[in-house]
Structure 1
Amino acid sequence: MKYELIDKFFDSPSEYLHFLIKLKVSKIATSDGKCIASLSKENDYYKYELVWEDGRNIGEHVKIFKANQENCDQFNKGCVEMARRLHIYLVTDDPNQVPCTPPAFGVLSCEWEDTTND
């Protein structure tokens, strides 16, 4: 079965900057309304969550990041990975089948561990 999922959140650094400065929560939905992505500010990090119409969801904590193209591209790559993971969950109906490592948002993820100095 094919699922329409959200694989991009910000079109530009200025769009992200608007969220950073003015909003607490931003949500987008697929054209059919079956999938909703939300980004919300939580203390000193963000929570990104993808929710399917039946309530199945996945999420990850993301560091607050500078508004530049490189970071927006990295964030959107994370959105692609989160969509892939939600697809796995929808197909298998088993949350244990959904990979959680490495963190979907890479260096922007709160769970990211810098191993460059090992």
Structure 2
Amino acid sequence: MIKRNKRFHAEVATSSLSDIMFFLLLFFLIISTLANPNVIRMTLPKSKTNEKTNKQLITLSVTEEKRFFVDKQEVAFEELETTLLSKMDPAKEQTVVVRIPFNMQVQDLVDVLQIGVKNKLKFVIATSPK
């Protein structure tokens, strides 16, 4: 009797794996740059206690050059009140998160907060942990 030595071995074709990984890497790099294109860098005031909120938020950022951004869109200070009021939804309980650099004058913060007092808006000052 003649025996044949033709056993089949399982193989995994990995020749296209590098191409797939390259395309996935490109995809995630492109998506990650589109996710947050306009970031305003600033050092926030420090606080010992931080609370997180789950409410509907509108972000108001002030740079050291006194440029104002409402939800990452630049707004002149004169138009700040109307922009905030247009973003507010009366059906939802919304809060304006104020991000102001730690070295800004108190008067600049008071000027912004007076808009909230005048229009009965809820303002919260963002801080970084100490």
TM over 0.5: no
Q: TM-score, normalised by structure 1?
A: 0.26
Higher relative contact order (CA 8 A, sep 6+): 2
- TM-score of the aligned structures, taking structure 2 as reference length: 0.25
Which of the two has higher C-alpha Rg?
Answer: 2
